Structure 1
């Protein structure tokens, strides 16, 4: 009898493990959307700020637009207790992370947290090296929904082993937690991490500039266009449940409105996670109009889950296509230059077969209705060539829908 009971128990445990794994795999069917504290606040975060952001995510309509993850980045940590379990900074988060998670969940939002695969985080707080299973259990106990896992202070640590170890710890903890890998693309995680994380950083950090590089001793931060260029050749590795991550958004942090619009549009064309990095408690109407444009968000969140591709480039003007579910396409003209560009769209020049989606634009035999996603206006169809003017450091973004 004991033998059969043991076999039955093992069978039940196996089934339970499969259910947990299945839940884990079902996360991030479309690119995750939310907000992260780092770009605006860096280490200057506390309980009051995070609660205020949670309130505003609901009041502003961001939650209903799809931004559901509220993510604490670095510097929330206190010390480890006598058993090695991590605690929250008692000054910054006096109520504790569990209480904060309950509050965020009460708003219909999800909470994310941050750690590091090394001995210390980038901000000098305790990392997870040697405490992976303890930390995963703690996050599950607190009700965490998302983990951003950084790569500072990782001398002699193997990235594949480190990230797979934390993946296994998260799954064993029994709570579906989205796993965001922040390894900066050093080990080309797009080539190996499909079954490890739900998203992986493809570059170093972004910073609040449209077209420049921020030099530091031993490292660099990159502007929007520099990071965009680093995505070349990566689209075949992305898809539902596993996304290339070109880092968080800088929209609303002080760049010009046209630059913010181009930044947001191109991240949507990349099927990138849309993680806001501005102070959403104090947003301009222009910023709201950009990050809450449902038609543009729909390009990012399209269920086909295929990243866009650049098909032409000349004199600072780039032509991008992104295949969409139902036979539609997103079409984007990006003007990288500092002067307006006149351009005539000859649709027949863009007949091509996409290797990743196995789809064809087929302008020879298919007519598409053209909708401008920023003006919301229908601008004819692809039966005729189209003359346009693309403002400097801006975009024209269209949805091409098969004419009925």
Structure 2
């Protein structure tokens, strides 16, 4: 026996007619095939979930940031009305998403989820129908544990039934959170179970994984969901100066955690730095524009979290800036990345599909500062001249390669830069 191992003959004899040498060769081929298969799985890149959804980062609204548990059919329907009336639908916003607390604290007699009749007197299906009549889509919330974050019934162990119920109601989007008892299951196991249930539900339902970046979802979630949270929850502050694993996180705190994640994002599968806080009180106009610009450069889902019914003209103009939205919705090969970090100031850039580059000059500090970069630094091909378009001022200037701006406190300048002076898509 090789290596001093006494292997019983019955373990080796694949067939009585084979010699010992033939048997050994056969087993070697089997082992080689098994090893090759195992290695292929180890090195195989994570492919995107192929459900045909989220070919561009989803855009919409979610109830949590402004309303928490104070959610109702009246709120959702009024928000859908506002989304249409204030031009958000025309700008690309599609999903109207109900977050936690929409259901009763106990499942029904057949184990089904039950919408709270005090909040949704005609049920979720009626709200979905209303939203669909507006040309929009409805999203709903659940959790990959025994309870939701607010203590309502979770979906673990009920994935098939809950997914089928969402499909019957006409739900188009599921935000799947990370609260409750995991019942001994791993993160991928819990989220894969709901992926498979949605796939068998008979309805196309966009799948948003909300596990807060705990287990490096960018490494495994592209094969499971259409988007995955990369951090702890957002709060409407420029920075909280808290560690990355602490709740909550400010705009800059979340931005800093996006470095190095660009390889995971692509059509159908997106890094999600959390919902927008534009218009939620603590951010001033410059910070709102900076927040929206940075999320767009990251190809992030643009899920508004403010009260759309009562937003100011300034907030509405931020959320519906078509030129910035175009940057978010365009896929040029990878999401935006940081190309220079000078401490208080940074330069971020993102390739666009038409050969242009979107660029952000970020001032993290208090007090205005002059920030400059070059077309070479942001990755544009050499040309005799360039056109630089300011995506917030909606003005253009010619350049021979320099890009600069005086950037106010906690603000950005955002440009799109093309080689030459010819026709270009916007």
TM-score relative to the length of structure 1: 0.88
Indicate yes or no: 2:129 matched with 1:102: yes
Alignment pair present for 1:171 and 2:203:
no
Cα contact 2:323–2:391 (8 A) shared by 1: yes
RMSD: 1.7
Cα separation, 1, equivalents of 2:122 and 2:80: 16
Is residue 24–residue 176 contact of structure 1 (8 Å, CA) maintained in 2?
no
| TM alignment of 1:193-342, pairs within 5 A | 193-213=221-241, 219-254=246-281, 255-304=283-332, 306-342=334-370
Cα displacement (A) at 1:387: 4.4
Instruction: Report the alpha carbon displacement of residue 385 of structure 1 after superposing the two structures with TM.
Output: 3.0
Query: What CA distance in whole angstroms lies between the structure 1 residues aligned with 2:49 and 2:80?
Result: 25
Deviation at 1:386, TM superposition (A): 4.4
CA distance in 2, matches of 1:81, 1:346: 62
Give, in angstroms, the shift of residue 367 of structure 1: 3.6
Hey, what does 1:28 align to over in structure 2? 54
Deviation at 1:351, TM superposition (A): 6.2
- 1:221 and 1:311 map into 2 onto residues whose CA distance is 27
Whether 2:417 is the aligned partner of 1:390: answer no
2:171 to 138, 144, 155: 144
Distance in 1 separating the partners of 2:49 and 2:179: 29
SS at match of 1:194: helix
Among 128, 134, 159, which residue is 1:132 paired with? 159
Q: Is the 8 A contact 1:370 1:399 kept in 2?
A: yes
Give SS of 2:218's match.
helix
User: 1:336: Cα distance to partner?
Assistant: 0.5
2:394 pairs with one of 376, 393, 403: 376
For the structure 1 residues 143 and 335, does the alpha-carbon distance in structure 2 shift closer, same or farther, using more than 3 Å as the test?
same
Deviation at 1:32, TM superposition (A): 0.3
**Are residues 154 and 232 of structure 1, via their aligned partners in 2, closer, same or farther at CA, if it must alter by over 3 Å?**
farther
Q: Cα deviation per residue 1:145-171 (whole Å; 9 max; x = unaligned)?
A: 000000011343311011111000000
Q: Which residue of 2 aligns with 1:47?
A: 73
Q: Which residue of 1 aligns with 2:120?
A: 93
C-alpha spacing 1:89/1:402, structure 2 compared with 1 (3 Å): same
- 8 A contact 1:23–1:176 mirrored in 2: no
Superposition deviation, residue 343 in structure 1 = 3.0
Equivalent residue for 2:111, pick from 84, 87, 102: 84
Deviation digits for residues 287-345 of structure 1, max 9, x if unmatched? 01111000000000003362001111114110111000011110110100111111343
Q: Is the 8 A contact 1:213 1:221 kept in 2?
A: no
Unaligned runs of 5+ in 2: 1-47
1:402 maps to 419
- In structure 1, what is the Cα distance between the partners aligned to 2:342 and 2:148? 42
Deviations 1:327-370 (CA, angstroms, capped at 9, x unpaired): 1110110100111111343444x165xxxxxxxx22x3464310
Instruction: Give the whole-Å Cα distance in 1 for the aligned partners of 2:412 and 2:150.
Output: 36
Equivalences for residues 349-364 of structure 1 within 5 A? 350=377, 352=379, 361-362=380-381, 364=382
Rounded to whole Å, the distance in 2 between the matches of 1:101 and 1:294 is: 27
More displaced stretch, 139-148 vs 337-346: 337-346
Contact 2:239–2:253 under 8 Å retained in 1: yes
Query: Which structure 1 segments of 5+ residues have no match?
Result: 1-21, 353-360
Provide, for residues 200-235 of structure 1, a one-character-per-residue CA deviation record: whole Å limited to 9, x for no partner: 0001100111111579xx952100000000111100
Question: Is residue 86–residue 135 contact of structure 1 (8 Å, CA) maintained in 2?
Answer: yes
For 1:51 and 1:223, locate their aligned partners in 2 and report how far apart those are by CA, in whole Å.
Answer: 30
Change (3 A) 1:246 1:212: same
Report how far residue 25 of structure 1 moved.
2.2
Specify the SS of the correspondent of 2:371.
strand
* Kept after mapping to 2: 8 A contact 1:390/1:396: yes
Q: Is the 8 A contact 1:24 1:171 kept in 2?
A: no
Structure-2-length-normalised TM-score: 0.84
Deviation at 1:24, TM superposition (A): 5.7
Taking a change above 3 Å as real, the CA distance of residues 305 and 180 of structure 1, as seen in their structure-2 partners, is farther
